[in-house]
Amino acid sequence: MFGHRGYPARFPENALAGFEYACEQGIDGLEFDVHLTADRVPVIMHDERIDRTTDGRGRIDQYTFEQLRHFRLANAEPVPSLAELLKLVSGRDVQLDLEFKTDKIQYPGIEAVVMQMVHATALRYPVIFSSFHLPTLKTCQRLAPNESYCWLTDKPVAHPAALVAREHLSGLHLHHFQSQASVTERIWTVDNPVVAADLMEQGVAGIFTDDFVTMMQVKRQLAN
């Protein structure tokens, strides 16, 4: 089970405080979204713009990291960097799903910067790298062929197993309307306990949820 953008049911999305709390509560995994600042620092935010989730305005890539840090999330923390999150989870019993947010802005070179940082960090589990933008994953594969890559899509996939094999993926991350359970798949975003129980019983590889505390209860009930 992956905390989608951390624990947005209780903390601002993609906030370090939410990631930290989820780790302390024993979550299996954390999903988060990565962009690059103007000076090529990977930072964690869902949108390409800072307007919705901070007290600032504008595109992430128009600010240097130092400039970006002046803006605040709703809990008054600055926009987290990938380096901060890697430090937070290093040595902890949690898996990361790192989503490259490259479907709208491609941030040339983001793959190498991110891979280098991840490879320099001692993590207990291999990172799952995901993106809606398949070329990003193909670039990553050239840099690090042995990592785990999952393509994200909210569209129906006609032949998922063939797609996974052809693109050398580890699996697909599908919107919960599109779950097919025919390949390794993780499903987003699942906050309904009935849907979650159904998916868990189908044996999906994982779910992304905004409310992992409730979903952990569902998991425990199914185990009893």
Binding residues (CB under 5 A) for Mg ion: these are: 33, 99
CA separation for the pair 140, 188 (Å, rounded):
23
Q: Which is nearer to ligand G3P, 4 or 35 (CB)?
A: 4
Binding of ligand G3P by 210 (CB under 6 A): no
Q: Which is nearer to ligand G3P, 35 or 173 (CB)?
A: 173
Q: Which residue has the tokens 């006609």?
A: 158
CA dihedral over 52, 55, 57, 61, signed as positive or negative = negative
Q: Ramachandran region of residue 220, left (φ > 0), alpha (ψ -120 to 50) or beta?
A: alpha
Contact positions with ligand G3P (CB under 6 A) in 9-28: none
Q: Which is nearer to ligand G3P, 99 or 185 (CB)?
A: 99
Q: Which is nearer to ligand G3P, 152 or 218 (CB)?
A: 152
Binding partner at 130 among Mg ion, ligand G3P, none, C-beta below 5 to 8 Å by kind: ligand G3P
Binding partner at 111 among ligand G3P, Mg ion, none, C-beta below 5 to 8 Å by kind: none
Binding of ligand G3P by 208 (CB under 6 A): yes
Chain residue whose CB lies nearest Mg ion: 99
Q: Which is nearer to Mg ion, 54 or 131 (CB)?
A: 131
Binding of ligand G3P by 81 (CB under 6 A): no
The residue count for binding ligand G3P (CB under 6 A) is 10
Binding of ligand G3P by 188 (CB under 6 A): yes
Q: Please pick, from the candidates 31, 48, 61, 185, the single residue that binds ligand G3P as defined by CB under 6 A.
A: 31
Q: Which residues sit at the interface with ligand G3P, rule CB under 6 A?
A: 4, 31, 33, 46, 99, 130, 152, 173, 188, 208
